[in-house]
Structure formats: structure tokens, C-alpha cells
């Protein structure tokens, strides 16, 4: 029911909003299509390892293509490929561990660009609900630093926000993995026989706004 409170349309500057191709399964159905990949995003799995596995998979094992977040989060002086990260597996591990949400979102956006995909409306609602919960948790943790009586409430909201994030991450992993596996079976990883697909342009070679596919995570307990 909470998802219905969030808009399901693309923003005006969303580069993925007007695309005609869709994922072969939406995020809400992806866990049933690929339950093992979904478990990779849950608290009992290892989201860092799953991030590394999925990025390596969509890069087709070619680490020369690897950049930090594939260039989707290039800001100011920090740019993918400009700090010794290109082709560096240690950087991939650090990205998957320290920037789990950005790593996951980058992998998903990479696949969306490669196959000219758009998110469906329910995907947008799930992502926006997650981002709302992370922001709410962040605000509550900040308030709890100054109002001790709010610490227990902030911890409860933090716990709920963490569950929402891991659930969203599991759905994203399953969606991307299922998309890749199905296209591999169909022989359309390079755009052959799969309908209209845009020519893939590496994201680091063009400016990228923060896309609607970005999922946010925060983790700072109120009593830290």
C-alpha cells in the first residue's frame, strides 16, 4: 500500500523515461524468476560479493571495461578511470563493499544503456519508496543526536529502512541477472534478434545525470 503513495512516472530529465524496451521482468516479479540472485541482496547474503559478481558478469569478464561505478557518478574531480580504478579488481571489491547501493545501481544502469531499457512504473515506485525510507532514517538519526528520547524510534526506523534496502537490492539483482541470462539464451546479448536496441555507448564518455534507477542506502545508528 505504501508504494501507491509514490509517483510512478519518469522525471523530466530522466534519460530512461522515453525508451520503448522493457526489462523481461519487473522488480516486483524478479525474486520469483531468479530467487538465488535475489538472496544475494538480502542481509544473510553478501551484497559485496554479489555486486562484484554481477559487474564482472555484465562486463562479460572484460575487466578493461571496468570503471568506478562505470562512470555514472562522475562528479567534480572524482571521475571513473581517473584515479587508477580502470580495470582494477581491488577497486571493484572496494566499490561493492563501501558503495554497495551505487555499485548495484551502476550495474543496472549499465544494462539499461546496453539494451536501451526503461524501468516500468512499479520499478520506479519501489526505488522511490526505498530512497524515501533511507532519507527518513537519516533525518531521524540526526534528530536523535540532539534529542535522546528519539533514539529508540530512530533505531526502529533504521532497521525498517535497512530491510527495505536489502529487499530492493535483492529485487534489482534478480532483475538484472534474469535479464542477462534470458538474453544469453536468446543470443541477443549483442543486440541480435532481440528487436530494436540502441547501440551501446560507454557511460564514461558522456555526461550522466543521476538516473531514476539510483537506489540509496544509509547506515548510521542513532547511538553511534
Hey, is 78 helix, strand or coil? strand
Residue whose C-alpha cell reads 551502476 in the numeric block? 106
- In tens, the pLDDT along 7-23 reads 777 777 778 877 889 99
- Whole-Å CA distances, 3 to 55, 117, 164, 211: 28, 22, 12, 19
- Higher pLDDT pick, 97 / 210: 97
- In tens, the pLDDT along 41-51 reads 776 668 999 99
Q: What pLDDT, on the 0 to 100 scale, is given for residue 126?
A: 94
Say if CB 25 and CB 33 are below 8 A apart: yes
- In tens, the pLDDT along 49-78 reads 999 999 999 999 999 999 999 999 887 667
For 17-68, the DSSP string reads: TT--EE-SS-TTTHHHH-HHHHHTTSTTS-HHHHHHHHHHHHTTT-GGG--G
Q: pLDDT grade, residue 170 (50/70/90)?
A: very high
Amino acid at each position: 500500500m505504501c508504494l501507491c503513495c509514490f509517483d510512478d512516472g519518469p522525471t523530466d530529465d530522466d534519460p530512461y523515461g522515453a525508451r520503448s524496451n522493457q526489462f523481461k521482468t519487473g522488480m516486483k516479479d524478479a525474486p520469483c524468476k531468479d530467487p538465488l540472485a535475489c538472496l544475494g541482496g538480502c542481509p544473510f547474503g553478501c551484497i559485496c560479493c554479489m555486486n562484484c559478481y554481477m559487474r564482472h558478469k555484465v562486463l562479460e569478464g572484460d575487466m578493461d571495461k571496468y570503471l568506478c561505478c562505470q562512470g555514472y557518478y562522475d562528479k567534480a574531480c572524482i571521475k571513473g578511470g581517473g584515479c587508477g580504478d580502470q580495470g582494477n579488481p581491488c577497486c571493484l571489491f572496494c566499490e561493492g563493499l563501501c558503495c554497495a547501493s551505487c555499485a548495484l545501481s551502476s550495474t543496472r544502469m549499465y544494462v539499461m544503456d546496453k539494451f536501451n531499457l526503461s524501468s516500468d512504473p512499479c520499478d520506479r515506485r519501489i526505488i522511490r519508496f526505498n530512497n524515501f525510507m533511507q532519507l527518513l532514517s537519516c533525518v531521524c538519526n540526526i534528530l536523535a543526536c540532539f534529542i535522546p528520547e528519539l533514539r529508540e524510534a530512530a533505531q526502529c526506523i533504521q532497521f525498517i529502512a535497512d530491510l527495505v534496502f536489502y529487499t530492493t537490492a535483492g529485487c534489482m539483482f534478480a532483475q538484472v541477472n534474469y535479464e542477462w541470462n534470458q538474453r544469453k539464451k536468446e543470443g541477443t546479448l549483442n543486440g541480435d534478434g532481440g528487436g530494436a536496441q540502441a547501440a551501446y555507448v560507454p557511460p564514461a564518455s558522456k555526461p550522466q545525470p543521476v538516473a531514476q534507477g539510483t537506489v540509496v542506502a544509509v547506515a548510521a545508528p542513532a547511538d553511534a
